[in-house]
Amino acid sequence: MVVEMSLKQSTPKTEASNDVILEVKNLKKYFPITGSLNNTVSQVKAVNDVSFSLIKGETYGLVGESGCGKSTTGRTILRLLEPTEGEVIYDGQNINKLKGNDLRNIRRELQMVFQDPYSSLNPRKRIGTILEETLKIHKIGNKKERTEQVMNILNKVGFQREHYYRFPHEFSGGQRQRIGLARALIINPSIIICDEPVSALDVSIQSQVLNLLEDVQQEFNLTYLFISHDLGVVRHISDRIGVMYLGKLVEESPTDELYSNPLHPYTKALLSAIPVPNPFVKREKIKLIGEIPSPVNPPSGCVFHTRCPFAMDVCKQEEPALKTIVHEHKVACHLY
Amino acid sequence: MRGDTMTELLLEVKNLKVHFETENGTVTAVDDVSFSVKRGETVGVVGESGCGKSVTAESILRLLNEKHTNYEGNILFEEKDILKLSYSELQKVRGNDISMIFQDPMSSLNPVYTVGNQIVEALLLHQNLTKKEAESKAVEMLKLTGIPLPEKRVNEYPHELSGGMRQRVMIAMALSCKPKLLIADEPTTALDVTTQSQILDLINELKDEFNMGTIMITHDLGVVAEVCTKVVVMYLGQVIEEASVESIFSSPLHPYTQGLLKSIPQIEGPRDEKLYVIEGKVPTLTQIPKGCRFAPRCEFATEICRDKMPQLESYENDLKVRCWHFKDIQEKRGGMNGSRNESQTVNS
Ligand SMILES: Nc1ncnc2c1ncn2[C@@H]1O[C@H](COP(=O)(O)OP(=O)(O)OP(=O)(O)O)[C@@H](O)[C@H]1O
Ligand SMILES: Nc1ncnc2c1ncn2[C@@H]1O[C@H](COP(=O)(O)OP(=O)(O)OP(=O)(O)O)[C@@H](O)[C@H]1O
Ligand code: SF4
Ligand code: SF4
Ligand SMILES: [Mg+2]
Ligand SMILES: [Mg+2]
């Protein structure tokens, strides 16, 4: 592979460095829609042929319209949902083919931090107990070692020993989010999928959690798949970003390049719609007209053609392939 | 904008206190909150998680369980005190004059009815429409919020919709009765920015068309900058600053507001290595500091701050701030190097 030198390379992590830790190939997840006789009448094509890779130590941001399949992509990678088709390669193994112990071992390496930290914590159990159970499931250490490990991880995410004995409701939103992170970290994974990890937090707590995510990433050489609607947050934390629309990956690029030079018409509209925290700046927004199509019957050709201001005849017929335009910057659009 | 009606007061919250009876005694979640909303005005309410934004909003509709809740103060809506209304008078105000979009849509939609049914129900209750009219109105409202295939979605149950869609159903319901006052509690947090901007436009249109007043609770300061005319900043149950949106962003007076603005990840300019963090934690409601509530985390705190609680003071045109030292702090900042937003405007 030719390693191109780029002057504006803001991050050392590029696909060219070839340190791919996880490869997602042609992943599909369809949800059946059942009729009154429990027969499948049609399918929600939530993730529809998505491919991308994660580079060791990077943060890969995943953005896109609400309902475009981001969470489903994350859950299917972890096999919290069974994929309909496609491969997810980790460490030379296709996760989608693993069973039993092999699957359990891989799950130690891949963890998820959920959007709503409260609903994922058992309200009747102390935080220490909740965290120790995670270790127990994975058969790590004896009782004493487990307690010690929990104390360590609590400390790492900014708590004191006394927090070990508290219940979930005694923590604030931001604190619970840190518990979610502690739970993911405690079994020493190499990849964490963060699904809207800061969206319920106000900016001052959000900045604490984001800084913490970056600190532990450095310390443990973690790789993140970071799903979020907040494009300011995504810009801050991501090395590269993938943009999804209606189950497809339509653009992928290093962060600075994407924000300065978005190529796909959907990405342009998305970035233009970011509300700027400055009442003195009025930006021109690209308004998307037309209805968001249903993932049950995605449009033919380019899935964006029903709303794209640049749509041409070819767009209705042929699906554009994801191709590299400039260094590391890929787009699926007939304009390029 | 209609200048004359703009000045007309729609809602006035005066010295509101909300006390909850809990297992561990009484806690005061909202402690002396005052602000007002004029017709056609959009007031932003921001502040740390748990500072009392939702409790304040829910008090305006008296939605809190009154067995465990005590109110003090006044909530004047068109000069009538909501806290003194009878149940039947209250029902007239709810949904008719004042609507609310809730933070958590799942808990406020009824799981056993289709979303269409719920919107129709609300319309029939509050407006003079036939069932037929209400049904087509429901579809129209869903369409306005950008839901794909609204004719089909009306027949679906809440659990069949994605988080973002449920949120839009709530919004359709709240707006369908064309309320005089809309209370929107984190209305767009679950939505992507293109859908969000569509919803904000819709709220704006109704504001212009019907002179609707809006209380916009959000932690997205971008949304505040875009749609609000006035901003109320809360901290631990109190209003600590109130000002026009321009003034909040260009020269925030309270140290907490300043910290909040510095914590935002920017979408332009160089990317920061580390985000700014306000050190320390928000105290719990059972350990409220006796002086200024922000003192344990404030870099400017002095003896008096730890000792005596500052009052919300009026300052210059329409500014209000609760801080002993805001003038000194303002001078130190020289009105210059404050928020990054300001320096950005200067540069661009
Ligand atoms: N369990 C399920 N059964 C049926 N359809 C589902 C299920 N989970 C998700 N979907 C559908 O799949 C599509 C993608 O949903 P997903 O939750 O992945 O979107 P998302 O990009 O995470 O959206 P958001 O930003 O709103 O969280 C949506 O149309 C959704 O309605
Ligand atoms: N029914 C209740 N009983 C006791 N305490 C309550 C009750 N409801 C709310 N509180 C407390 O009142 C405070 C204010 O809560 P509120 O929900 O208004 O916060 P908020 O500002 O809306 O926060 P967020 O941004 O997280 O939504 C919190 O400390 C909360 O724990
Ligand atoms: S392929 Fe055509 S319809 Fe699709 S984004 Fe490009 S120009 Fe628009
Ligand atoms: S009163 Fe004192 S402690 Fe409180 S914000 Fe002002 S300077 Fe800080
Ligand atoms: Mg999601
Ligand atoms: Mg709230």
Establish if A297 belongs to a structural domain.
yes
- Domain count along chain A: 2
pLDDT tens digits, one per residue of B21-53: 887 788 899 999 999 999 999 999 999 888 899
User: Which residue in chain B is spatially nearest to A198 when comparing CA positions?
Assistant: B189
- Cβ density class B257-279: b for 16+ within 10 Å, e for less: bbbbbbbbbbbbeebeeebbbbe
A178, A310: one domain: no
Establish if A256 belongs to a structural domain.
no
Establish if A250 belongs to a structural domain.
no
Establish if A244 belongs to a structural domain.
no
Max intra-chain CA distance, chain B? 67
Q: How confident is the model at residue B106 (pLDDT cuts 50, 70, 90)?
A: low
Last residue of a domain, one of A195, A222, A238: A238
Residue A290, domain extent: 263-336
Q: Give residue limits of the domains in chain B.
A: 3-235, 238-342
Residue carrying structure tokens 């540069």:
B347
B51 Cα nearest atom in ligand 2: 21
Q: What is the mean pLDDT of residues B153-166?
A: 79
A156, A83: one domain: yes
How far is the C-alpha of B129 from the C-alpha of B82, rounded, in Å? 27
Q: Tell how far the Cα of B85 is from the centroid of ligand 1, in angstroms.
A: 43
Overall pTM surpassing 0.90 (yes/no) = no
Establish if A249 belongs to a structural domain.
no
Establish if A110 belongs to a structural domain.
yes
Residue A260 in contact with residue A97, Cβ under 8 Å?
no
- AA letter at A16: A
- What is the CB neighbour count within 10 angstroms for residue B137? 17
| Residue B293, pLDDT above cutoff 50 | yes
Closest-CA residue to B45 (of B315, B233, B286, B191): B233
A224, A314: one domain: no
A231, A117: one domain: yes
Cα A238 to Cα A157, B12, B272, B322, distances in angstroms: 21, 44, 12, 38
Q: Which CATH number belongs to the domain containing residue A188 in this structure?
A: 3.40.50.300
Are the beta carbons of B265 and A285 separated by less than 8 Å? no
Q: What is the mean pLDDT of residues B139-162?
A: 82
Mean pLDDT of chain B: 86
pLDDT at residue A1, as a whole number = 38
Closest-CA residue to A303 (of A243, A246, A244): A246
pLDDT tens per residue across all 336 residues of chain A: 333 333 333 444 555 556 899 999 999 999 987 777 777 778 889 999 999 999 999 999 999 988 899 999 999 999 999 999 999 999 889 999 998 888 888 888 999 988 766 667 888 889 999 999 989 888 888 999 999 999 988 888 878 788 888 888 777 767 788 888 889 889 889 999 999 888 777 888 888 889 989 998 998 899 999 999 899 999 999 999 999 999 999 999 999 999 999 999 999 999 999 998 898 888 888 888 776 787 888 999 999 999 999 999 999 999 999 999 998 999 999 999
SS3 content of chain A, % helix, strand, coil (to 5): 35, 25, 45
Are the beta carbons of A277 and B341 separated by less than 8 Å? yes
Are the beta carbons of A292 and B341 separated by less than 8 Å? no
Are the beta carbons of A201 and B219 separated by less than 8 Å? yes
Q: B4 phi and psi, to 5 degrees? A: -65, -45
pLDDT greater at residue B334 or residue A46: A46
Q: Residue A232: which of B162, B165, B265 has the nearest Cβ? A: B265
| Residue B257, pLDDT above cutoff 70 | yes
pLDDT at residue B170, as a whole number = 86
Interface residue of B106, B161, B192, B217 to substitute, partner A, most A CBs within 10 Å: B192
Mode of pairing for the β-strands spanning A93-94 and A85-90: antiparallel
Q: Residue B282: which of A172, A270, A285 has the nearest Cβ? A: A172
pLDDT tens digits, one per residue of B49-98: 888 998 999 999 998 888 889 999 999 999 999 999 998 899 888 878 99
> What would the CATH number be for the domain defined by B3-235?
3.40.50.300
- AA letter at A154: L
pLDDT at residue A14, as a whole number = 53
pLDDT at residue B110, as a whole number = 82
pLDDT at residue A239, as a whole number = 96
pLDDT at residue B260, as a whole number = 93
Q: Is residue A159 lining ligand 3, measured as CB closer than 6 Å?
A: no
A41, A181: one domain: yes
- What is the CB neighbour count within 10 angstroms for residue A167? 15
B254 Cα nearest atom in ligand 4: 5
Are the beta carbons of B249 and A199 separated by less than 8 Å? no
Q: How confident is the model at residue B302 (pLDDT cuts 50, 70, 90)?
A: very high
Establish if A89 belongs to a structural domain.
yes
Q: Which residues of A touch B191 (CB under 8 A)?
A: 66, 229
Q: Whose CA is nearest to atom 6 of ligand 4?
A: B323
Q: What is the mean pLDDT of residues B144-164?
A: 80
Distance of residue B87 Cα from the nearest chain A Cα, in angstroms:
32
pLDDT tens digits, one per residue of B312-332: 999 887 899 999 999 998 888
User: Which residue in chain B is spatially nearest to A228 when comparing CA positions?
Assistant: B192
Ligand nearest to the CA of A288: 3
ipTM summary value? 0.80
